[in-house]
């Protein structure tokens, strides 16, 4: 601009040569210079060009270059003063410099297409841009007396008074943070195409920080034609070329008039609501005229809190009716929003007023009570209540008494609002709620205790007897303590209910909790008080709930304890279940000794193998093997059916179970060790009966009889269709065994199959078919050629047998199969030396029900018998099952689960079982009704197993057994108690029995002569006498 003034001719030449476009940002300075002549024009022409809508210095075109001011929050609308706050100090300084040089008198206001980074829709909601003129705002501010000082706008040397404005016009002295109404952009492409020409009125700096504001007056709508320059570091605004948009003429038709009146009515309704910026809205409405519909539309849009996109749509719209409709929709939304805010505000104020009123009344009431000495301070009353509760406690240990006193003293020094106050208060609540020294009186009548046990449970005589013994010791000592009882048995046999019966028999309180899957030791010993929400463990909770120091606590599922980084709960149970230690049990929360010696602990488990050894050592195991058919039948008739009918609301006269139906339910539907599945079947039947009763009217209801004919209608087809897998006898290679599971005893079959390769196959594999000299002699002595011998007696081809074992067997059982095959090969050479089947055959051994995992050593004798039966092609006895661990020397070792296996044999109608000799004492402990109908052979060596299994089948026999004499126990099928004998009379050992004089004869085996004799033993025969070994027997009382 200075060069133009000094050397105008040279500048005109430069302009003529390079064009005027590079100098567009400085054209305002050229056109409004006070030095005289503008380029190619006079001063008057330049002054005329500064008016909106006409390019300075031009006579024909209406388009003009402008600096574009980006608008973030909302667009500006023509005809009304707007306040634009500028948070960027560099932009404010640049605008002040442009105004000083005369280049910022007019700006182009364009809204950005999108919000800049770091600014959201919620951030742009705020005070409207539309304002009244600065002089009006100043008068209103002075009249109200709320002026905060006029902001002194420093235009860097400019003496214009337009840079000074009161805070009411935008207030640069405001303490509020400056809004981001405008800011930087990268290029002009980020701007909307339609904007407004802004006449800059004044600038105001923020005296409390960076930034400021400017007051502008939008004159008319403009359209962005092209971008002339991008923002730079010196000038942060881009230069654009804009064309004014002519004002729209409004035709006063009915639609325009109706929309105009509706907008005015909506604005009046809006003014009646207590919305934000209501005073500013009223001030603006009062100042500007509302007669022109389009002017009114621009005013309402400028004052609205609508989204920026909707406001831009109003600015762009050129059709008057459509613009009015959009504005009407905006004002309606503003009205609804204001009403909702007013409603919520009223609700909050009402709630606050109610709560405040209640609070004030409570404070007055509390103060009145204090004045009348009717109530002490809350804190003092709490402490007094604790001291009173502690004084009433009896039998509190000295350490616990001191601990409670210290905690009360600590509580008195804490503020009631302190978090520690509530921690101490909760601790004292627990301490004073425990039953220190408070016990219930035990029942000392043993007959009553026995009657209670018999009422709750059928059978289980050994379990009841052991519990009564435990009670009897307690009655004599005066306290029921000592060994911890652990009930081990399959599900559904009544372990938990026995614990309840013990509590009822002793007249004690009962508490049960399960530790199945428990990993956190804090559940047993409690949490330390340093944790938020800490509380004592289950044992202390049991004492608080029962309110006695001697309850019966049942710890369920103790065999399923977990262990992880949070601790080992089994270690925490060691102290609890040890009678020598639990007299001073310390819970982590209480941290004081609690006497648990008077608590009777009863544990339950399905198996004892998974219980940790130190914990198992502190318990006395009582095993519940399960129920036989007769016991299940009695339980069903005496307890399950009446209890199920009563619990389902069905009267007994509407349902009847025939004995045959109950018998079939037990035999073919519920073969588990317990009675839980049987209970479910009865419940299923009763539910169907209840449904039929509800569907029928009271007059047509009839009695439902459950019989064999309609049983499948109620419970479906039986899952067990027959008693045995092989009904007509087992084929060669199949032997029945006895197994123990966590669900009780079970029978299983061991199947062995195989074939010898043909001689041609052996030769094709390069094997030798030469006979040994001994084999030649054996064949010639028999008078048969090699080809005439059975396949199993053919000469060895030099190959090795291959065995495949299936049935989902465990590691121990797989090892048992290898031992069984090795011993079977050796034993086969002894009884039938020409037989090479086990040495060369390809065999496959399988144990059915492959979905069930199986493991354990007790199937050794069964697998060996299966291999020998296959090699000899001889079946074992049909009505026989066996169990026992086998060694490579042929010894039969002790196994477990004799009671469960005997019950399983009876359930499958097996008449003969073979057991290890060392398990004879376990078998004799069984009640007679559990072994009724069973013949048990107790063997020490596999020679006796072989003889018993293959006797009478034509299999070759050894001349003499290498084990001790076989002990055989026969229990008649109708046997309950021995007639004429004491119930607990011990049998005479077989070794001490004197054989009858008639015993050497085989005829003595036909009939014993006396029905009460059940002990039968095997007497060893003379060496070398197979007949004596198999037939000489004696009877003993």
- What pLDDT, in 10s, does the model give residues 327-357? 899 888 888 888 888 888 888 888 888 888 8
User: What's the CA gap between 464 and 927, in Å, rounded?
Assistant: 13
**Is the confidence at residue 153, as pLDDT, over 50?**
no
Under the banding of pLDDT at 50, 70 and 90, the label for residue 127 is low
User: Looking at residues 519-548, what average pLDDT do you find?
Assistant: 90
**Is the confidence at residue 945, as pLDDT, over 90?**
yes
In this predicted model, which residue has the larger pLDDT, 918 or 773?
Answer: 918
Give the count of alpha carbons within 13 A of 55, CB side only.
15
- The pLDDT value recorded for residue 674 is 87
User: What's the CA gap between 562 and 519, in Å, rounded?
Assistant: 5
pLDDT digits (tens, 9 = 90+) for 625-673: 888 888 889 999 999 999 999 999 999 899 999 999 999 999 889 888 8
- What percent of the chain lies above the pLDDT cut of 70? 76
**Is the confidence at residue 482, as pLDDT, over 90?**
no
Segment 657-661 long-range contacts (CB within 8 Å, at least 24 positions apart):
657/706, 658/705, 658/706, 658/707, 658/708, 660/707, 660/708, 661/706, 661/707, 661/708, 661/711
33, 570, 858, 865: the catalytic one is 858
Which CA distances in Å does 217 have to 52, 131, 163, 508, 521? 11, 10, 15, 92, 76
User: Looking at residues 912-938, what average pLDDT do you find?
Assistant: 91
- The pLDDT value recorded for residue 376 is 59
Q: Are 25 and 229 in contact (CB under 8 A)?
A: yes
- The pLDDT value recorded for residue 195 is 93
User: Looking at residues 192-197, what average pLDDT do you find?
Assistant: 92
Angle at 574 between CA 568 and CA 576, to 5 degrees: 110
Identify whether 858 is a catalytic site residue. yes
User: What's the CA gap between 87 and 91, in Å, rounded?
Assistant: 8
Which CA distances in Å does 978 have to 46, 630, 984? 138, 18, 10
Which CA distances in Å does 573 have to 539, 555, 821, 1011? 10, 10, 45, 52
Q: Are 943 and 961 in contact (CB under 8 A)?
A: yes
**Helix, coil or strand: residue 675:** coil
Under the banding of pLDDT at 50, 70 and 90, the label for residue 761 is low
**Is the confidence at residue 610, as pLDDT, over 50?**
yes
Angle at 760 between CA 755 and CA 765, to 5 degrees: 90
- The pLDDT value recorded for residue 787 is 40
User: Looking at residues 86-113, what average pLDDT do you find?
Assistant: 86
Dihedral angle of Cα 207, 211, 217, 221, to the nearest 10 degrees:
-170
**Is the confidence at residue 620, as pLDDT, over 70?**
yes
- The pLDDT value recorded for residue 876 is 94
Under the banding of pLDDT at 50, 70 and 90, the label for residue 3 is low
138, 570, 901, 961: the catalytic one is 901
**Is the confidence at residue 33, as pLDDT, over 50?**
no
The mean predicted confidence, pLDDT, of the chain is: 78
Lowest average pLDDT, out of 466-480, 482-496, 731-745, 789-803, goes to: 789-803
Under the banding of pLDDT at 50, 70 and 90, the label for residue 784 is very low
**Is the confidence at residue 776, as pLDDT, over 50?**
no
**Helix, coil or strand: residue 511:** strand
pLDDT digits (tens, 9 = 90+) for 831-878: 999 999 999 899 999 998 877 788 888 899 999 999 999 999 999 998
**Is the confidence at residue 542, as pLDDT, over 90?**
yes
pLDDT digits (tens, 9 = 90+) for 220-274: 999 999 998 888 888 888 989 899 998 888 877 888 888 888 888 888 888 777 7
- The pLDDT value recorded for residue 928 is 85
- The pLDDT value recorded for residue 975 is 61
- The pLDDT value recorded for residue 15 is 57
In this predicted model, which residue has the larger pLDDT, 159 or 702?
Answer: 702
**Is the confidence at residue 963, as pLDDT, over 50?**
yes
- The pLDDT value recorded for residue 831 is 92
- The pLDDT value recorded for residue 929 is 81
- The pLDDT value recorded for residue 1009 is 34
Angle at 915 between CA 862 and CA 742, to 5 degrees: 75
**Is the confidence at residue 18, as pLDDT, over 60?**
no
User: What's the CA gap between 190 and 112, in Å, rounded?
Assistant: 6
- The pLDDT value recorded for residue 155 is 35
User: Looking at residues 372-380, what average pLDDT do you find?
Assistant: 70
Under the banding of pLDDT at 50, 70 and 90, the label for residue 28 is very low
- The pLDDT value recorded for residue 1008 is 36
- The pLDDT value recorded for residue 991 is 33
User: Looking at residues 6-30, what average pLDDT do you find?
Assistant: 50
**Is the confidence at residue 745, as pLDDT, over 50?**
yes
**Helix, coil or strand: residue 99:** helix
- The pLDDT value recorded for residue 122 is 61
Which CA distances in Å does 738 have to 245, 257, 627, 716? 103, 102, 17, 29
Phi, psi of 844 (to 5 degrees): -140, 120
**Helix, coil or strand: residue 709:** coil
Query: What's the whole-model pTM score?
Result: 0.54
**Is the confidence at residue 971, as pLDDT, over 70?**
yes
- The pLDDT value recorded for residue 572 is 86
Q: Are 345 and 108 in contact (CB under 8 A)?
A: no
- The pLDDT value recorded for residue 40 is 38
Identify whether 193 is a catalytic site residue. no
Lowest average pLDDT, out of 86-90, 103-107, 479-483, 792-796, goes to: 792-796
Dihedral (CA of 477, 481, 482, 488) sign: positive
In this predicted model, which residue has the larger pLDDT, 948 or 35?
Answer: 948
- The pLDDT value recorded for residue 1001 is 31
- The pLDDT value recorded for residue 165 is 40
- The pLDDT value recorded for residue 791 is 47
- The pLDDT value recorded for residue 625 is 81
Pinpoint the alpha helices (H) of 317-418.
320-371, 378-392, 398-412
- The pLDDT value recorded for residue 55 is 36
pLDDT digits (tens, 9 = 90+) for 672-693: 888 999 999 999 999 999 999 9
- What percent of the chain lies above the pLDDT cut of 90? 28
- The pLDDT value recorded for residue 853 is 82
């Amino acid at each position: 601009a200075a060069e133009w003034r000094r050397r105008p001719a040279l500048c005109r030449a430069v302009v003529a040569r390079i064009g005027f476009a590079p100098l567009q940002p400085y054209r305002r300075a050229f056109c409004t210079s006070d030095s005289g002549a503008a380029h190619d024009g006079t001063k008057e022409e330049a002054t005329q060009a500064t008016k909106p809508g006409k390019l300075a210095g031009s006579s024909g075109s209406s388009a003009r270059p402008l600096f574009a001011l980006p608008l973030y929050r909302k667009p500006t609308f023509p005809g009304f003063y707007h306040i634009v706050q500028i948070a960027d100090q560099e932009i404010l300084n640049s605008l002040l410099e442009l105004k000083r040089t005369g280049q910022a008198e007019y700006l182009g206001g364009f809204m950005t297409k999108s919000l800049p980074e770091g600014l959201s829709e919620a951030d742009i909601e705020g005070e409207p841009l539309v304002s009244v003129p600065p002089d009006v705002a100043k008068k209103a501010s002075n009249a109200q007396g709320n002026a905060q000082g006029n902001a002194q706008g420093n235009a860097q040397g400019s003496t214009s008074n337009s840079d000074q404005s009161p805070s009411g016009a935008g207030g640069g002295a405001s303490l509020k943070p400056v809004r981001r109404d405008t800011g930087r952009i990268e290029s002009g492409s980020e701007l909307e195409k339609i904007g407004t020409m802004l006449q800059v009125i004044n600038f105001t700096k923020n005296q409390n920080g960076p930034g400021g504001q400017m007051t502008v007056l939008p004159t008319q709508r403009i359209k962005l034609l092209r971008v002339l320059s991008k923002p730079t570091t010196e000038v942060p605004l881009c230069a654009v070329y804009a064309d004014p948009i002519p004002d729209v003429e409004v035709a006063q038709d009915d639609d325009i008039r109706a929309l105009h009146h509706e907008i005015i009515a909506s604005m009046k309704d809006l003014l009646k609501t207590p919305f934000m910026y209501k005073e500013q809205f009223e001030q603006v409405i009062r100042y500007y005229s509302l007669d022109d519909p389009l002017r009114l539309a621009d005013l309402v849009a400028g004052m609205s809190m609508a989204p920026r996109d909707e406001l831009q749509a109003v600015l762009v719209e050129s059709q008057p009716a459509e613009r009015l409709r959009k504005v009407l929709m905006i004002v309606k939304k503003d009205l609804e929003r204001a009403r909702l805010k007013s409603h919520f505000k009223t609700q909050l104020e009402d709630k606050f007023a109610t709560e405040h009123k209640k609070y004030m009344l409570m404070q007055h009431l509390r103060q009145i009570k204090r004045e009348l000495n009717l109530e002490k301070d809350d804190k003092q009353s709490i402490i007094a209540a604790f001291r009173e509760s502690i004084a009433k406690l009896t039998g509190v240990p000295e350490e616990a008494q001191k601990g409670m006193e210290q905690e009360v003293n600590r509580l008195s020094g804490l503020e009631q609002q302190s978090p520690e106050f509530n921690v101490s208060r909760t601790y004292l609540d627990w301490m004073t709620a425990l039953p220190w020294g408070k016990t219930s009186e035990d029942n000392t009548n043993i007959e009553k205790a026995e009657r209670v046990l018999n009422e709750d449970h059928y059978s289980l005589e050994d379990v009841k007897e052991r519990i009564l013994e435990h009670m009897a010791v307690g009655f004599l000592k005066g306290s029921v303590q000592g060994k911890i009882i652990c009930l081990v048995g399959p599900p559904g046999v009544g372990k938990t209910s026995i614990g309840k019966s013990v509590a009822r028999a002793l007249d004690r309180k009962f508490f049960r909790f399960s530790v199945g899957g428990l990993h956190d030791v804090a559940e047993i010993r409690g949490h330390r008080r340093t944790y938020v929400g800490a509380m004592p463990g289950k044992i202390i909770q049991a004492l608080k709930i029962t309110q006695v120091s001697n309850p019966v606590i049942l710890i369920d599922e103790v065999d399923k304890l977990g262990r992880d980084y949070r601790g080992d709960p089994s270690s925490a149970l060691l102290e609890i279940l040890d009678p020598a230690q639990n007299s001073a049990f310390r819970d982590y929360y209480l941290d004081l000794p609690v006497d648990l010696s008077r608590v009777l602990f009863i544990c339950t488990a399905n198996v004892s193998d998974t219980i940790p050894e130190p914990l198992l050592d502190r318990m006395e195991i009582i095993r519940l093997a399960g129920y036989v058919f007769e016991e299940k039948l009695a339980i069903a008739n005496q307890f399950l059916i009446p209890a199920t009918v009563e619990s389902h609301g069905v009267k007994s006269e509407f349902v009847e179970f025939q004995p045959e139906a109950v018998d079939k339910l037990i035999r073919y539907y519920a073969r588990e060790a317990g009675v839980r599945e049987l209970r479910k079947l009865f419940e299923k039947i009763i539910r169907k009966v209840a449904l039929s009763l509800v569907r029928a009217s009271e007059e047509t209801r009839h009695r439902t009889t459950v019989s064999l004919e309609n049983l499948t209608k109620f419970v479906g087809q039986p899952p067990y269709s027959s008693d045995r897998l092989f009904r007509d006898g087992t084929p060669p290679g199949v032997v029945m065994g006895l197994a123990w599971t966590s669900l009780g005893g079970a029978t299983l079959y061991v199947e062995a199959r195989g074939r010898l390769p043909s001689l041609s196959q052996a030769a094709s594999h390069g094997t030798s078919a030469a006979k040994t000299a001994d084999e030649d002699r054996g064949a010639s002595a028999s008078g048969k050629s090699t080809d005439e011998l059975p396949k199993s007696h053919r000469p060895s081809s030099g190959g090795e047998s291959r065995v495949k074992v299936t049935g989902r067997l465990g590691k121990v059982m797989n090892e048992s199969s290898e031992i069984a095959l090795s011993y079977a090969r050796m034993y086969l050479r002894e009884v039938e030396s020409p037989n090479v089947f086990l040495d060369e055959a390809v065999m496959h051994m399988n144990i059915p029900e492959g979905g069930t995992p199986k493991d354990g050593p007790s199937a050794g004798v069964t697998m060996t018998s299966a291999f020998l039966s296959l090699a000899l092609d001889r079946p074992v006895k049909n009505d026989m099952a066996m169990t026992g661990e086998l060694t490579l020397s042929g010894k039969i070792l002790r196994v477990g689960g004799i009671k469960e296996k005997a019950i399983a044999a009876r359930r499958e109608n097996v008449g003969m079982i073979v057991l290890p000799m060392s398990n004879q004492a376990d078998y004799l402990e069984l009640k007679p009704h559990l072994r009724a109908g069973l013949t048990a052979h107790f063997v020490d060596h596999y020679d006796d197993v072989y003889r018993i299994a293959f006797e009478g089948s034509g299999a070759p026999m050894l001349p003499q057994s290498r084990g001790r004499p076989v002990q055989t126990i026969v229990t008649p099928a109708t046997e309950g108690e021995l007639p004429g004998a004491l119930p607990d009379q011990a049998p005479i050992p077989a070794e001490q029995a004197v054989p009858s004089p008639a015993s050497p004869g085989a005829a003595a085996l036909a009939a014993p002569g006396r029905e009460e004799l059940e002990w039968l033993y095997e007497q060893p025969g003379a060496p070398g006498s197979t007949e004596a070994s198999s037939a000489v027997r004696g009877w003993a009382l």
